[in-house]
Amino acid sequence: MLSMEQGTGPMEMLTTLGRQVGLTQAEVDRATERLTGAFSSLMATDKPSASFDVNRLVSGLGKNLLDNPMLVAWGLKVAARTGDEVFSKFIGNFLKRSVVERKSVVDNMADELGYHPPSTILINPTMRCNLRCKGCYAYSFDQKADMDRDVIERILLQAKDLGIHFITMTGGEPFLYPEIEDIFQSHPDITFMVYTNAQRIDAARAQRLAKLGNVWPTISVEGYETETDERRGKGVYAKLIETMGHLKDAGVLFGISAVPTRHNTDMLASDEFLDHYIDQGALFGWMFTYMPVGKDPDIDLMATPAQREQLRRQSLHWRQSKPFFMSDFWNDGPLCGGCMSASRIAFITTDGWVQPCVFVQFATHNVHEHSLRDIFDSEFFHAIRGRQPYHPNFLRPCKIIDHPHVLREVVEKCGARPTYPGADSIIKDQHIRDHLDNYSQEYAEIAEKTWNSEDYEGGHSVQVPFYGRSDLYKIYEPYMRRAHAQVGTPMPSCSGKVENRPKKTESRIKIQ
């Protein structure tokens, strides 16, 4: 348990916080010196339109120091334990371009485009993989496919033209792509988060990634050795632990990715699990609940609604108790205003089809014939954005498992094609349809109770990383207005009363 005495100054609080989460005094000194320089650089931004966001960021971090100190502790660890180029790119690429300057860039682009551009693009450079993991959706695609280098370069240039400086690489195994490090080096102004099985990263590659500074390996884990090797193959766990050691020694910012299922949620939602990987040097993590997509999806692997709620509670507990940045892709819907598919993210398959997200495996456009601007302006993407958010309860953000009728309707309306044979089973297989309908109804009952609990102050506020606790009806006012219009319920007024009826939905959502 952290303890801070009242009246303590900010630097004393940072020092105390750093020591209490295991940093040495030398590491605390290194971290505070780096962070002081970084914030001085951010405050000196030459973009006046971003100055408000810098001040909001600084104010939010001050609030977090008191209300959510573990986020600040995480920042201290990043500043203390990453290499020089890694930390420089973390500040310059991620914090500056993707956080501080993002709102002004997006608003300016929206005036030009008529819609807000996405925050990140996910790219599959290759579907080749050195493993054959049980239940992996990636094996639904052509295992020999590589995306041409010139296509990747064109995508990245178009992404930057849309103000995107955060790219996610997945696969397959991205580190099997022959020119992957050349791509990272050619775009030093982009942060690349790379999902990997960690089998192709040795000590030499870890040092090269540290020198590049703009690559965040995100290592897939199933739990401990037994669980990982059972799904991924014997010896995989030992190698990924070895790789984590190389990345930690090199000062690379890396994290973990896990897939909660009916069988492993109890283990994943434990302090012991997270502490184990924190000890290996991981600084962030992603939870992606198992989705019934891919060839022959197994609906019995889905975590139950009760397990999903269990993981939500644990994620909040971790944020209050661990110096670690954990994101639960479904339970964190309140942090980003609900579903991000076709609005904040898109996924490009190796053969160029652009899906609204990784799990909505349908498309109408291909990058070989269309630009990213054309695709985000397409009927399919417009139809999805026009329905978002699907409900005022942002704990139910997903059109696949929370509002499955929405996925069926937009796919049919726009004539979207499955991106591989069998992908349409999620909307055509009656057994899967019935299961998702029942699942969504059962989870809705849990989510409604949770949404009206103290955690979200009756569905009105959420603790937003970097900015502190925020009023959802202020930061996402147009989103909330649209959501209430979707379900025909009135908007609460600022006084706590409700308006007689929802006002007309705004044509564009202002990102906060």
pLDDT in tens, 134-174: 666 555 555 668 999 999 999 999 999 999 999 999 988 99
Burial annotation 196-222 (CB, 10 A radius, 16+ → b, else e): bbbbebeeebbbbbbebbbbbbbbbbb
Residue 250: name the closest of 216, 214, 208, 220 by CA: 208
Q: Which two tokens stand for residue 193?
A: 């988060």
Residue 364 has pLDDT above 80, yes or no: yes
Mean pLDDT of the 47-53 span? 52
More confident residue, 433 or 493: 433
Residue 449 contacts by C-beta under 8 Å, 6 or more apart in sequence? none
Q: How far is CA 383 from CA 291, 380, 406, 421, in A?
A: 22, 5, 10, 24
Phi first, then psi, for residue 141 (nearest 5°) are -105, 170
Predicted local distance difference test score (pLDDT) of residue 468: 75
Burial annotation 96-117 (CB, 10 A radius, 16+ → b, else e): bbbbbbbbbbbeebbeeeebbb
Residue 435 has pLDDT above 50, yes or no: yes
Report d(CA 456, CA 405) in Å as an integer.
27
Which of 93-107, 166-180, 497-511 is the most confident on average?
166-180
Contact 195, 220 (CB under 8 A): yes
Q: How confident is the model at residue 463 (pLDDT cuts 50, 70, 90)?
A: confident
Predicted local distance difference test score (pLDDT) of residue 62: 67
Residue 241 has pLDDT above 90, yes or no: yes
Predicted local distance difference test score (pLDDT) of residue 470: 86
Mean pLDDT of the 214-227 span? 94
pTM value?
0.91
Predicted local distance difference test score (pLDDT) of residue 343: 93
Report d(CA 215, CA 185) in Å as an integer.
10
Q: How far is CA 210 from CA 81, 311, 328, 387, in A?
A: 12, 33, 27, 42
Report d(CA 296, CA 293) in Å as an integer.
8
Predicted local distance difference test score (pLDDT) of residue 119: 92
Report d(CA 447, CA 440) in Å as an integer.
10
Mean pLDDT of the 388-393 span? 96
Length of the chain: 512
Cα dihedral 50, 51, 54, 58, rounded to 10, equals -160
Q: Which two tokens stand for residue 262?
A: 């009916």
Predicted local distance difference test score (pLDDT) of residue 47: 57
Predicted local distance difference test score (pLDDT) of residue 499: 42
Contact 506, 114 (CB under 8 A): no
Contact 224, 254 (CB under 8 A): no
Residue 51 has pLDDT above 70, yes or no: no
Where do the H-state alpha helices sit in 233-321? 236-250, 265-268, 271-279, 305-321
| Residue that is written with structure tokens 């892709």 in the block | 329
Predicted local distance difference test score (pLDDT) of residue 127: 87
Mean pLDDT of the 454-469 span? 85
Torsion-angle region of 143 (φ positive above 0: left; ψ -120 to 50: alpha; else: beta): alpha
Q: How far is CA 201 from CA 138, 242, 495, in A?
A: 21, 9, 56
**Nearest-5° Cα angle at 146, 140 to 149:** 145
Mean pLDDT of the 283-287 span? 97
Type of residue found at 404: P
- The whole-chain average pLDDT of the chain stands at 88
Predicted local distance difference test score (pLDDT) of residue 500: 41
Residue 100 has pLDDT above 90, yes or no: no
Predicted local distance difference test score (pLDDT) of residue 511: 29
Predicted local distance difference test score (pLDDT) of residue 504: 35
* Sign, CA torsion 452/454/458/461: negative
More confident residue, 224 or 58: 224
Residue 501 has pLDDT above 90, yes or no: no
Predicted local distance difference test score (pLDDT) of residue 386: 93
pLDDT tens readout for residues 403-423 = 999 999 999 999 999 998 889
Mean pLDDT of the 195-209 span? 97
